[in-house]
């Protein structure tokens, strides 16, 4: 299966049914809290009911309570006033309770969404991450998540309350006076078309805001990540100019969105004011003609103010809703992306090593687990086979046109060749960061597509030239190779690769913070930490992708010594431009255009007249 090529902005493009998927995502997040959601819905309904019923008591007080109080019977007036006060207090208590519970529930929903998104992003294959950018994914977890959180925490309750309040008001208006209610409902006709038009335009505007802010974050993350290059080449004005352009797009998108909000708010208020004016005129005429009562007219005016008050709140909530909806669509698009390198439905295990087979007690699962107690015990390695493999990145040309290779267990193989020869691609196939377009890659005759992912990752470890270290202590960074390893095992791993003396000279020893990206350590020391991780992980197969490319001569010699320890008893693939690294290999493969053009021991190829012999002679001459 080939990896589809995706343009730079294609990750941001949304499928036509993304709104439906976003709603389904929200429902799946709310479902575990369904009981609380139903309880909150009941509270919202009761709150709206108590808010709406107040003017009814005022109308009763004006039409019945006041006349009877004048006649010497204050009871109806007192009861109407008490009922009004009671409904006001009840609505306040319910509003406080529901706001607090909505906030708590919203935080739980957002927490679940953030966890699900983070977990899924880590599951996505390397191809997705190479096509996308870290800045966009950061935008999903930050600005987009904040938009969803703001709507759920602050606007969702107000929106639901406003909708129920408007519904109850509409029903109450019909009960009070049908002709006046008919006049009010005529104003709903333009409101319907205004809302429909605003919804469509605002959705597009806020989708633009989410995309544009993602580009701003992408640019910022890239600039800060490459700040050394920016400062070294004095590219600050260029980066600032690019950020200004991206910020301009974000500003324009927000301006269009806010212009739409202003348009929607202006038209709704205009309709509301016109409707209220018509109600006052028509209602006064009905009172004069004795077709309705003054209390009913007063209640209608109060209800209209309350009706269009929630409508104003809906306008503001509509703003947050559109932003949150666009943000949720972006996150739904990420969650809807399936990894192209998928775990097997019925995973197989690697066969037990020969020593385990003789004991008859160890299972395949045992052969994949690397307990802290086995640290430093070399495994016997595993065989690697690439059979009829063809691979291309998306619709591009074949990087490996047709490739066959067998690496016996315990053999150290060096891959040599010009940039673009296919060496790193081969390494990515062996580590299953990609699947071949055709053919199969096997370890001990088990296809990697069928191999349990946890066992694959414990059996095959890759070390790159980047030597990425996380913020934290040196011990914690070494322990990444085996999170269950004890302190003694960490020390043993560091000592095995020659890192222990340096660490002990640091002020805090193994508890020294390596700082951002391991900036406190040199390139050689960071690479030794990577090798200590491998030693602690105790894998069967080690893949080194130009692991010594950025080292100086003293550091390289130190790393070379550590390599001999790390690779002992393991199958290894070493990709190297420095031929000094190749000297420890049992076998050298020279690659060109995705094919093996030379294959032999280092001594055999050096003594020949081929490509490797030429490279080796040029390297020797450079040392003179």
If phi > 0 it is left, if psi is from -120 to 50 it is alpha, else beta; for residue 396 that is beta
pLDDT for residue 386: 94
pLDDT for residue 281: 79
* pLDDT at position 263 over 80: no
Confidence of residue 366 (pLDDT cuts 50, 70, 90): very low
Q: Under a CB-based contact definition with an 8 Å cutoff, are residues 477 and 518 in contact?
A: yes
Q: Which residue has the tokens 């519904």?
A: 167
pLDDT for residue 357: 35
| Element housing 543 (H / E) | strand 541-545
Q: pTM of whole model > 0.75?
A: no
Considering only CA atoms, which of 405, 362, 400, 401 is closest in space to residue 380?
Answer: 362
Token reading at 411 = 């053999």
Tens of pLDDT, residues 519-569: 677 777 888 888 888 888 889 999 988 766 555 566 667 667 777 778 888
Sheet containing 438-443, strands listed edge to edge, beginning at the edge strand earlier in sequence:
398-407, 384-392, 438-443, 446-447
Secondary structure, 3-state, 338-375: CCCCCCCCCCECCCCCHHHHHHCCCCHHHHHCCCHHHC
pLDDT for residue 555: 61
The CB density around residue 339, as the number of other CB atoms within 10 Å, is 13
Mean pLDDT across the chain: 79
Tens of pLDDT, residues 484-521: 888 899 998 888 888 888 888 888 888 888 876 666 77
What is the secondary structure of 457-509 as a DSSP string?
HHHEEEEETT----SSBHHHHHGGG-TT--HHHHHHHHHHTT-HHHHHTSTTG
Q: b/e per residue, 93-117, with b = 16+ CB within 10 A? A: ebbeebbebbeebbebbbeebbeeb
- Mapping DSSP to helix (H, G, I), strand (E, B) and coil, where does residue 235 land? coil
Domains along the sequence of the chain with CATH: 19-335 (1.20.1560.10), 380-623 (3.40.50.300)
Token reading at 273 = 């004011």
Ramachandran angles phi, psi of 602, nearest 5°:
-55, -40
User: Parallel, antiparallel, or unpaired: how do β-strands 438-443 and 446-447 relate?
Assistant: antiparallel
What is the secondary structure of 20-77 as a DSSP string?
HHHHHHHHHHHGGGHHHHHHHHHHHHHHHHHHHHHHHHHHHIIIIIHHHHHTT--HHH
Confidence of residue 310 (pLDDT cuts 50, 70, 90): low
* pLDDT at position 370 over 70: no
Cα 215 to Cα 133: distance, rounded to the nearest angstrom: 10
* pLDDT at position 354 over 60: no
Tens of pLDDT, residues 75-86: 888 888 898 888
Confidence of residue 371 (pLDDT cuts 50, 70, 90): very low
* pLDDT at position 179 over 60: yes
The CB density around residue 301, as the number of other CB atoms within 10 Å, is 15
Mean pLDDT within 375-391:
79
Cα 266 to Cα 194: distance, rounded to the nearest angstrom: 10
Residue 250 to residues 253, 261, 347, Cα–Cα distance (Å): 5, 17, 47
Q: Give 56: exposed, middle or buried? Use CB within 10 Å, 0-12, 13-18, 19+.
A: buried
Cα 593 to Cα 35: distance, rounded to the nearest angstrom: 61
pLDDT for residue 510: 86
Cα 588 to Cα 31: distance, rounded to the nearest angstrom: 58
pLDDT for residue 549: 57
pLDDT for residue 550: 55
Tens of pLDDT, residues 390-424: 999 877 888 998 889 999 998 999 998 888 888 98
Tens of pLDDT, residues 199-233: 667 667 777 777 777 777 777 777 776 776 777 66
pLDDT for residue 571: 92
* pLDDT at position 605 over 70: yes
Residue ranges in 61-142 assigned as alpha helix (H): 66-70, 75-123, 126-131, 134-139
Token reading at 299 = 């209640």
């Amino acid at each position: 299966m080939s990896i589809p090529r995706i343009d730079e902005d294609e990750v941001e493009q949304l499928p036509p049914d993304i709104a439906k998927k976003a709603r389904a995502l929200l429902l799946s997040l709310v479902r575990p809290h369904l009981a609380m959601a139903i309880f909150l819905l009941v509270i919202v309904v009761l709150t709206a009911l108590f808010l709406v019923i107040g003017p009814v008591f005022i109308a009763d007080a004006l039409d019945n309570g006041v006349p009877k109080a004048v006649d010497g019977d204050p009871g109806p007036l007192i009861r109407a006033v008490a009922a009004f006060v009671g409904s006001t207090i009840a609505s306040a208590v319910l509003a406080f309770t529901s706001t607090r519970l909505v906030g708590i529930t919203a935080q739980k929903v957002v927490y679940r969404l953030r966890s699900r998104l983070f977990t899924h992003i880590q599951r996505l294959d390397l191809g997705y991450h190479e096509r996308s950018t870290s800045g966009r994914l950061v935008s999903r977890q930050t600005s987009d998540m904040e938009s969803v959180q703001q709507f759920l925490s602050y606007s969702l309750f107000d929106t639901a309350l406003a909708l129920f309040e408007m519904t109850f008001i509409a029903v109450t208006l019909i009960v009070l006076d049908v002709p006046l209610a008919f006049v009010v409902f005529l104003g709903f006709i333009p409101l319907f078309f205004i809302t429909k038009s605003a919804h469509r335009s605002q959705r597009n505007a806020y989708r633009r805001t989410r995309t544009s802010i993602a580009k701003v974050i992408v640019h910022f993350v890239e600039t800060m990540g490459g700040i050394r290059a920016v400062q070294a080449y004095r590219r600050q004005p260029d980066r600032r100019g690019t950020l200004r352009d991206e910020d301009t797009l974000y500003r324009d998108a927000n301006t269009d969105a806010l212009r739409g909000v202003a348009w929607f708010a202006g038209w709704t208020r205009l309709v509301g004011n016109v409707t209220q004016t018509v109600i006052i005129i028509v209602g006064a005429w009905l009172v004069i003609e004795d077709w309705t009562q003054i209390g009913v007219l007063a209640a209608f005016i109060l209800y209209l103010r309350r009706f269009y008050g929630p409508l104003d709140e809906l306008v503001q909530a509509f703003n947050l809703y559109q932003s949150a909806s666009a943000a949720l669509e972006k996150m739904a698009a990420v969650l809807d992306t399936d990894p192209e390198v998928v775990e097997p439905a019925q995973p197989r295990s690697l066969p037990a090593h020969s020593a385990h087979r003789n004991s008859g007690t160890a299972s395949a699962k045992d052969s994949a687990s690397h307990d802290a107690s086995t640290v430093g015990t070399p495994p016997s390695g595993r065989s690697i086979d690439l059979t009829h493999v063809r691979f291309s990145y998306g619709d591009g040309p074949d990087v490996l046109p047709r490739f066959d290779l067998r690496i016996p267990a315990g053999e150290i193989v060096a891959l040599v060749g010009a940039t673009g020869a296919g060496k790193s691609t081969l390494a990515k196939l062996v580590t299953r960061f990609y699947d071949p377009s055709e053919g199969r890659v096997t370890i001990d005759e088990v296809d990697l597509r069928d191999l349990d992912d946890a066992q694959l990752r414990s059996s095959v470890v890759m070390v790159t030239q980047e030597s990425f270290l996380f913020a934290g202590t040196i011990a914690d960074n070494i322990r990444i190779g085996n999170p269950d390893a004890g302190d003694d095992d960490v020390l043993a791993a560091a000592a095995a690769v020659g890192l222990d003396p340096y660490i002990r000279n640091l002020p805090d020893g193994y508890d020294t913070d390596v700082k951002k990206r391991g900036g406190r350590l040199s390139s050689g020391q960071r690479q030794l930490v990577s090798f200590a991780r491998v030693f602690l992980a105790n894998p069967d197969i080690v893949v080194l992708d130009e692991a010594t490319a950025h080292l100086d001569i003293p550091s390289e010699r130190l790393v070379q010594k550590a390599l001999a320890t790390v690779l002992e008893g393991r199958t290894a693939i070493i990709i190297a431009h420095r031929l000094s690294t190749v000297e420890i290999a049992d076998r050298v493969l020279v690659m060109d255009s995705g094919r093996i053009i030379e294959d032999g021991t280092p001594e055999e190829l050096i003594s020949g007249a081929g490509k490797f012999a030429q490279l080796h002679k040029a390297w020797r001459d450079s040392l003179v």
